[in-house]
Amino acid sequence: MTDAADKTTPSDDERVLDDAAPVNGEGDVEKLQLELEEAKALAEDNHNNYMRLAAEIDNLRKRTIREVEQARKFGVERFAGELLAAVDSLEMGIDAAAGASAEALLEGKRATLKLLSGAMAKSGVEAIDPEGELFDPNLHEALTMQPSETAEPGSIITVIQKGYQLNGRLLRPARVIVASEPAE
C-alpha cells in the first residue's frame, strides 16, 4: 500500500464526521435551545402543579382543623338531644309530685331511668354490673374483701356502685366487694 492511496480514500472516522450534523453548528444550537425551552415548560408545569398541591394541602389542613373544632364543640349534640326527654320527664315528675302517690312517683322515676339508660346505650355507654363474676382490676375497684362460704374466692359478691364503659373504654370502674376464703 502506498501513501497516496490512503490519502485519497477517506477513513471511517472522517466519513462518520461528514455524515453527522456539524459539531457546535447552527443545528446543534437550535436543537439545544428547543430542548431548553421544553425543559423550562416542564419545570414551569411542575412548579404550577406543586403550588396547586401545596394550596390544596393547606386548605385541607385548615378544613380539618375547623372540623375538629366543630366536633369538639358539638360532639355531644346527639347525646344532649337524647337527654332532653329524661329532663322533660323529671320536670313533669316534679310538677306532679304535690298530689301524686308514692307508687306513681316511683313509676315516674323508673320511666325516667329507662329514658336515661336508653340515651346512654344509643351513645355507646354500657353499664358494668359484675355481681357473681370474677374480679377484674381493669373493670372493677375492690372496696373490701369479705369472707364467704357460698361464693368462690375472688368473685364479686356485692356491687356497691355500677361501673360504665364508653365504646369499650372505662369511664368508671364498678365498685365492688370481693369474696375471700372463709374464716376458720
Those residues whose C-beta lies under 8 Å from the C-beta of residue 39, and which sit 6 or more positions away, are none
Please determine, for residue 18, whether its predicted confidence score (pLDDT) is greater than 80.
no
DSSP state string for 84-134: HHHHHHHHHHHHHGGG--HHHHHHHHHHHHHHHHHHHHHTTEEEE--TTSB
For residue 5, being part of any structural domain is answered with no
Q: Are 130 and 180 members of one domain?
A: yes
For residue 2, being part of any structural domain is answered with no
pLDDT of residue 25: 65
Q: Which domain holds residue 138?
A: 124-184
Q: Are 68 and 40 members of one domain?
A: yes
pLDDT of residue 53: 97
**Orientation angle between helical segments 102-122 and 77-96, nearest 10 degrees:** 180
Q: Are 48 and 24 members of one domain?
A: yes
Q: Which long-range contacts does 113-119 make (Cβ < 8 Å, 24+ apart)?
A: 115/85, 115/86, 115/89, 116/83, 116/86, 118/82, 119/79, 119/82, 119/83, 119/85, 119/86
Number of helices and strands in the chain (H, E): 5, 6
pTM for the complete prediction? 0.61
At 132-181, the pLDDT tens digits run: 999 999 999 999 999 999 999 999 999 999 999 999 999 999 999 999 99
What mean pLDDT do residues 49-72 have? Answer: 95
For residue 7, being part of any structural domain is answered with no
Q: Which helix (H) or strand (E) holds 182?
A: none
What mean pLDDT do residues 32-38 have? Answer: 95
Q: Are 70 and 93 members of one domain?
A: no
Q: Are 31 and 49 members of one domain?
A: yes
Q: Are 94 and 44 members of one domain?
A: no
Number of domains comprising the chain: 3
Contact 82, 118 (CB under 8 A): yes
Q: Are 148 and 131 members of one domain?
A: yes
Q: Are 95 and 57 members of one domain?
A: no
Contact 161, 127 (CB under 8 A): no
What mean pLDDT do residues 72-78 have? Answer: 86
Q: Are 61 and 39 members of one domain?
A: yes
For residue 59, being part of any structural domain is answered with yes
Contact 114, 86 (CB under 8 A): no
For residue 140, being part of any structural domain is answered with yes
CATH value at residue 182: 2.30.22.10
Residue of higher predicted confidence among 5 and 97 = 97
